[in-house]
Amino acid sequence: MSTHKLQKIGLTRTAPVQGEGNDNDNCTEQAAMRPAMGVRRLFSFTQLYFFALSYMSSWEAMATNIGLVFYNGGPRAMVWGFFIVIAGVLCQVASLSEMASVQPIAGGQYHWTWHWAPRRYQRSITWLQGWVTWFSWISILAGVVNVAANVTTTLVAANYPSYVLQGWHTVLVMYAYLLVLGGLNMYAFWLIPWVEVLAGLLHIVLWIVVATVLLTLAPRHTAEFVFFEKSNLSGWNNDFVAFNLGIVLITWGFVGFDASAHLAEETRKARLSTPRAMFWSICMNGLLAFGMIVIFLTCLGDVDDVLTATYPLLAISLNATNSVAGASALLVGFLFTVISVSIGSVADGALPAYFSYVDPKQRIPVRSVWLPLIIVAVLALLNLASYTAFSVIISLSTFGLYQSYFLSIGCMLYARTRGHFHTAPWSLGKAGIPVNIFAMLYSAWLGIFMCFPNYLPITAGLMNYALPINAVIWIFAFGSWFAWGRKRWPGLDVEVIEYIVADGDRDTKE
């Protein structure tokens, strides 16, 4: 695999990349795909920061999962478990931010793994990392677009009581969003930084509006309920397991922060802008998310209404405002932030060389924009069978990215302990080793519980498919490595990487 932006710089590749052969025809084809043009660095630090802020949508993710916490752990798991999650995530993002400062490149974990992995296993680990990361991002895109579609149909159902939701309705709404996202990325990519600024501002303004409405109008639960209420409706009788399953819900609002790193090649002064945007957006989102957790639990209203609601935020808003129009207005603002996340999901990732072709007119990798959209469009058809079938795919997202973080941080730690790690403008300094170790321990710990069944007894409809679908990805990655990559893939193009990294301090768009 190779980053989707490699051909932008107009260099002559001396070695084939994953998915290429060594024959002259292939080389000629690759040379023909390289327009001689530079990368457009459209994002300033401010724009990238607001992108990172809205992309995480951390407090909005809490609204999505607030009802599910009553199945495992209850309010106390969400409140106190938050501190476990935020500590681990801060160590994760600090580690990846330092990597992004050393190598501000679109491939992210894929390139960082190559850069710091033990030389003996460099190619194989990088190959595995590339496939796991790419499939995880496909899963995230599918999940985010599905959330946007579900929020849309929920709004329609709330305002038109006679409306009956069908699976194909969700599919068509998803297709509409996918077409809009593809068109925006293809024909108006220059607009995306400003869309993300607007989304980031709305992310903060909407928090203030929702908090004000709920605290002013909604009935209150007691502090004892908010901080100490236990609830295990899932069938798990073991409080320790239920608590850890409860805090896994929080991770959905803090996974994918590496999206900013995948836009490093489009960012000015990327060595500093990228790590700062990644780290400080998590700090800000952490404050917003914890505040909203306490507010949601305080103003929750009737728990049964939230548990039976299609979308919990709508039930909470209806309980506070007693108005479908008022509750819908809050949800429309939330929908816009979800759509902005979808826009970002299309813009990054790592793809085989064929898809890194840059259209000379649009100056974007058109093939790499439409490939994930087409894949998600095909996967969306699973909704016609059942949502369970579609959830099999999106269950990979968080678990897959946690493995991606674990691999890249592990390689970084290996390089540190052997004196091969060179400091960058954004550096952890002496705190690097303990931060890296805690990030890996946290990733492994939560990764274990991401594979646990969320409900007992286990049925096909309630099965947690994260482990089996992840196993399929790993079998594919290992199989393709031994069948093809081990002998035919020479690794990443060092010349291209060095060019991009050297350009990381550029402060101009063109």
DSSP 34-84: --S-PPP--B-HHHHHHHHHHHH-HHHHHHHHTTGGGTTT-HHHHHHHHHH
Q: What percent of the residues of the chain are helix, what percent strand, and what percent coil, each to the nearest 5?
A: 75, 0, 25
Neighbours of 392 (CB within 10 A): 20
Q: How far is CA 128 from CA 95, 114, 282, 409, 504, in A?
A: 20, 11, 27, 15, 26
Q: Supply the pLDDT for residue 146.
A: 85
Q: Which residues pair with 3 in a beta bridge?
A: 350
- In the numeric block, which tokens belong to residue 338? 């979800």
H/E segment holding residue 350: strand 350-351
Q: List, in sequence order, the alpha helices (H) in 322-365.
A: 324-347
Residues 274-288, mean pLDDT to the nearest whole number: 96
- Give the pLDDT confidence of 326-345 residue by residue, as tens digits: 777 767 666 666 665 555 55
Q: Residue 296: enclosing H or E segment and its boundaries?
A: helix 270-298
Question: What pLDDT sits at residue 466?
Answer: 86
Q: What is the pLDDT of residues 453-499, one digit of tens each?
A: 888 998 877 788 888 889 999 999 999 999 998 998 888 888 888 88
The confidence score (pLDDT) of residue 26 equals 39
pLDDT beyond 60 at 32: no
Most confident of 53-67, 306-320, 363-377: 53-67
Q: What is the pLDDT of residues 189-237, one digit of tens each?
A: 778 788 888 888 988 999 999 999 999 998 899 999 999 999 999 999 9
What dihedral angle (degrees, nearest 10) is formed by the CA atoms of 61, 64, 65, 68? Answer: -170
- Residue 366 pLDDT greater than 70, yes or no: yes
Structure tokens at 3: 């980053």
For the chain, which domains are there?
Answer: 2-17+29-494 (1.20.1740.10)
Residue 227: per-residue pLDDT: 96
The least confident of 190-194, 282-286, 356-360, 443-447 is 356-360
Q: How does 125-142 read in b/e, with b if 16+ C-beta sit within 10 Å?
A: bbbbbbbbbbbbbbbbbb
Q: What is the dihedral of CA 10, 11, 13, 14, to 10 degrees?
A: 160
